[in-house]
Amino acid sequence: MGFFQRMMVLDRRIVFVLIAVAVVTPLFIPFRLKMHPTPASRGLYDSVRRLPRGSTVIISGEYDPGTAPEIQPMMIGALKQCFRKGLKVILMGLWPQGPALEEQALQEVFQEREFKEMGLRYGQDYVNLGFKSGGGAVIQSMGTSIPVAFPTDMTGTPLGKLPLMEGVHNLSDVAFVLDFSAGDPGTPAWVMFAHDRFHVPMAAGCTAVSAPMLYPYLQTKQLSGLLGGLKGAADYEWLTKSPGKGMQYLPSQSVAHLVIVIFIILGNIAFFVTKRKGER
Alpha-carbon separation of residue 143 from 67, 140, 165, 174, 278 (angstroms): 28, 5, 15, 10, 65
- Of residues 77 and 136, the one with the C-beta less far from another protein: 136
Residues 6+ apart with CB under 8 A from 253: 23, 230, 231
Binding piece for another protein, criterion CB under 8 A, among 50-58, 93-101, 112-120, 173-181 = 93-101
Length of the chain: 280
Per-residue contact flags (x/-) with another protein for residues 253 to 272, judged by CB under 8 A: xxxxxxxxx-xxxxxx--x-
Query: Binding of another protein at residue 243 (CB under 8 A)?
Result: no
Query: Binding of another protein at residue 103 (CB under 8 A)?
Result: yes
The footprint of another protein on residues 136-155 (CB under 8 A) is: 137-138, 140-141, 143-145, 148-149, 154-155
DSSP 177-218: EEEEESSSSSHHHHIIIIITTT---EEEEE-TTTHHHHHHHH
d(CA 211, CA 215): 7
Q: How many residues bind another protein (CB under 8 A)?
A: 72
Binding piece for another protein, criterion CB under 8 A, among 53-61, 113-121, 161-169, 252-260 = 252-260
The footprint of another protein on residues 181-240 (CB under 8 A) is: 197, 208, 211-213, 215-216, 218-219, 228-229, 231, 234
d(CA 112, CA 114): 6
Q: Which of 2, 3, 6, 16 binds another protein (CB under 8 A)?
A: 16
Do 120 and 80 meet the contact criterion of CB atoms below 8 Å apart?
no
Segment (H or E) for 147? helix 146-149
The footprint of another protein on residues 27-56 (CB under 8 A) is: 33-36, 38-39
Query: Binding of another protein at residue 273 (CB under 8 A)?
Result: no
